Amino acid sequence: MTGDARTRNGTEAPRKTGEAAREASEAPRKAVEASRKTAEASRRTAEALTYLSGFGNEHSSEAVPGALPHGRNSPQRVPLGLYAEQLSGSAFTEPRAHNRRSWLYRIRPSAAHPAFTRADNGTLRSAPFTETVPDPNRLRWDPLPEPAAGTDFLAGLWTLGGNGDATRRTGMAVHLYHANSSMERVFSDADGELLIVPEHGGLLLRTEFGLLHVEPGHVALIPRGVRFRVDLLGAASDGGQSPTARGYVCENYGAPFRLPDLGPIGANGLANARDFRAPVAAYEDDGDGGDHGNDGGTAGQVEVVNKFCGNLWTALYDHSPLDVVAWHGSHVPYVYDLRLFNVMGTISYDHPDPSIFTVLTSPSDTPGLAGVDFVVFAPRWLVGEDTFRPPYFHRNVMSEYMGLVEGAYDAKAAGEGGFVPGGGSLHNMMSAHGPDRETFERASAAELRPQKVDDGLAFMFETRWPVTATAQAARAEHLQTGYDDVWRGLQRHFRPADRR
Ligand SMILES: O=C(O)Cc1cc(O)ccc1O
Ligand SMILES: [Fe+2]
C-alpha cells in the first residue's frame, strides 16, 4: 500500500480538515510503514535462524557459552548467575518414553511475577463447549473476515469449536486466526499445546526456548505452558502492504502430540523424526540494554497473558519472560515442513484409510484411539488399479475437521464458495460425507493412469469426540449455507438386470 489515506484494513479514512486531518491521515500510513519495517527486520531474523534436529529428543542449547550446567540440573549456584527452573509437560512419573520436561536457565525465575487478573477472552473459547448443541449436519465455513486494525495473533484467535474439558486435560479445540499486527505481549497456554497451521503469511515465533520461523506449508508446535510472542512476516505476495497472517490452530488439551508408531511400515516413513526442528537458545534481557538473538525489544513492562482453564489472565511483568539463556530437555517447541512428509499409499488397489497420513497423534487411554490426530494430504501419486481414487463415501465414529492450506482437495471440486484455502469443514461423528457429486462423476469416469496429486495441501484434525461449535461459529456469516447440495443429484445407477 502506498501513502494514501487508508486505514490498516484498507478502508478509506474519514475526511477532516486542516492539520488534525493531515495528522490523522498520516497516522495509518506511518503505522503501516512501521509494521512493514518491523516485518522486514523479523523476516531477516527468521531467514537466518539455525535449528536443532529431531523429535522428542533430549536437546540442549546455550546462547552464552558456559551457561548450561554440566553433570547436574540444579547446582548450588547456576553458571553466570542464572536461575534454574524445571518446566514439566508430563507428570514426573510418566513412562520415560513419554516423559516431557525441560530445564531452563534464566535471568529471573518465572515465579517472580505479580498477580494475574482476568482479561477479556475476546473470540477465544474453551472446552467444555456448551454454547450450542452438537450438530450432526455437515458444516463448512469460508475464511475468517478481515480483522480490525491492530489485531495481534492472540486477539486474532477465533474458536470454531471443540470437545473434552480443558480442566481435565482431555479433548481439543479448533481455532482459526486472522491477524494484522505483531504481538507486543507474551502469551502462554496452560490448557494445552498449540499446533499452528499457517495458511497465509509467515510467522516468527519468539519463544522461551528461542526463535522459530513458520510459513504456510509448515506447522509449529508450542508446548503447554511455554511462553511466546508472534511477529507477522507478511506473505511474499503482500508487496508493500502491512503484513497479515491467517491460519488454523489445534489446541490439544490431551497427551502431547507424538509421532505415530509405524508398525509394519518399518523403521522409516511418514513424518521422519529428523525433519522436526527445535530452536536454539536466544533470550531477551532488559537489564543490560540489549537483546541476544531474541531481538524482540524488551525495555520496560511486558504484558503476559496466560490461558488457564478456559480463561485469559493478564499480568504486567517488569521484565521479559523470554529470558532463558540456556536450556535442555524434551518439552520444547518445534517446526515441521509438511512437504517433507513421506507419503505412503497403495501400489495395488483401493483407497487406504487416511490414518496412513498421520503426522502427529495425541493418544488416549485406549490403544489406537486418538484424542486427536493431525493428518496431512500432501502431494502424492495415485496408481490404484480398478480403484475409485478420491476419498470414498463414509461415515466415521471419529469427528473430522478439515482445513486447506493451498490449492484444492481431491474430494471436493475446486472453486469459490466451496472448500477453499482458509476455510474449513466439519464432518462430525457418523455424519455421511465423501466426494461431492462433481468429484464422484469425474473419478468414476477417469482413465486410471498414474496420477500426481500436487495441486493442494489439505489437513485434518481427527478427534475421538464430536466437535461442538461455538455460538460464533454456528451463527457466523461465513458459515456456508447449502453445503448439503454438493451431494445432491447423485444419480441412481442401479441396474439389477446387469447382474452376471
Ligand atoms: O473426509 C475426508 O475427506 C477425509 C478422508 C480422506 C480419506 O482419504 C479417507 C477418509 C476420510 O475421512
Ligand atoms: Fe472423512
CA of 27 to the centre of ligand 2 (A): 48
Q: What is the mean pLDDT of residues 288-311?
A: 77
CB 86 within 8 A of CB 73: yes
More confident residue, 340 or 292: 340
Q: What is the mean pLDDT of residues 194-199?
A: 98
Residue 4 is predicted with a pLDDT of 29
Three-state SS at 202: strand
Q: Which residue has the cell 443429484?
A: 489
Task: For residues 343 and 360, give the distance between their C-alpha atoms in angstroms, rounded to a whole number.
Answer: 14
Closest residue by Cα to atom 8, ligand 1, is: 391
Q: Which ligand is nearest to the CA of 354?
A: 1
Task: For residues 80 and 207, give the distance between their C-alpha atoms in angstroms, rounded to a whole number.
Answer: 21
Can 292 be counted among the known catalytic residues?
no
353 CA closest ligand 1 atom index: 9
Q: What is the mean pLDDT of residues 443-447?
A: 95
Q: Where are the alpha helices (DSSP H) in 225-304?
A: none
| Element at 27 (helix H, strand E) | helix 18-47
CA of 462 to the centre of ligand 1 (A): 10
More confident residue, 290 or 253: 253
Residue 16 is predicted with a pLDDT of 40
> Is the entire prediction scored with pTM above 0.90?
yes
Q: What is the mean pLDDT of residues 90-104?
A: 97
Q: What is the mean pLDDT of residues 344-356?
A: 97
In the predicted model, what is the mean pLDDT of the chain?
91
Residue 11 is predicted with a pLDDT of 28
Residue 20 is predicted with a pLDDT of 57
Q: 457: Cβ–Cβ under 8 A, 6 or more apart, which residues? A: 217, 338, 339, 376, 377, 378, 379, 404, 405, 406, 407
Q: What is the mean pLDDT of residues 11-32?
A: 53
Task: Using the predicted structure, report yes or no on whether residue 358 has a pLDDT greater than 60.
Answer: yes
Angle at 424 between CA 420 and CA 426, to 5 degrees: 140
Closest residue by Cα to atom 6, ligand 1, is: 391
Given 3-state DSSP classes, what are the helix, strand and coil percentages for the chain, each rounded to the nearest 5? 15, 35, 50
Enter the ipTM.
0.99
Which residues does a 6 A CB cutoff place in the pocket of ligand 1?
351, 354, 391, 394, 396, 400, 411, 427, 433, 460
How far are the Cα atoms of 109, 112, 191, 295, 305 from residue 229, in angstroms, in the given order?
A: 19, 19, 17, 12, 10
Dihedral angle sign, alpha carbons of residues 481, 133, 358, 46: positive
Lowest mean pLDDT among 81-90, 162-171, 228-237, 322-331: 228-237
Q: 228: Cβ–Cβ under 8 A, 6 or more apart, which residues? A: 186, 187, 188, 205, 206, 207, 208, 222, 322, 333
Q: What is the mean pLDDT of residues 424-435?
A: 97
390 CA closest ligand 1 atom index: 8
Task: Using the predicted structure, report yes or no on whether residue 33 has a pLDDT greater than 80.
Answer: no
416 annotated ligand binder? no
Residue 8 is predicted with a pLDDT of 27
CB 138 within 8 A of CB 427: yes
More confident residue, 298 or 87: 87
Mutation choice for ligand 1 from 140, 344, 353, CB with most ligand atoms inside 8 A: 353
Q: What is the mean pLDDT of residues 58-64?
A: 97
Q: Categorize the per-residue pLDDT at 238 as very low, low, confident or very high, splitting at 50, 70 and 90.
A: low
Q: Categorize the per-residue pLDDT at 286 as very low, low, confident or very high, splitting at 50, 70 and 90.
A: confident
Q: Categorize the per-residue pLDDT at 37 as very low, low, confident or very high, splitting at 50, 70 and 90.
A: confident
Using a pLDDT cut of 90, give the percent of the chain over it.
Answer: 83
Closest residue by Cα to atom 1, ligand 1, is: 434
CA of 470 to the centre of ligand 1 (A): 24
Task: Using the predicted structure, report yes or no on whether residue 22 has a pLDDT greater than 50.
Answer: yes
Task: For residues 196 and 157, give the distance between their C-alpha atoms in angstroms, rounded to a whole number.
Answer: 11
Q: What is the mean pLDDT of residues 177-193?
A: 97
Q: Categorize the per-residue pLDDT at 25 as very low, low, confident or very high, splitting at 50, 70 and 90.
A: low
433 annotated ligand binder? yes
Q: Categorize the per-residue pLDDT at 2 as very low, low, confident or very high, splitting at 50, 70 and 90.
A: very low
Residue 7 is predicted with a pLDDT of 25
More confident residue, 356 or 295: 356
Identify the active-site residue in 70, 351, 427, 493.
351
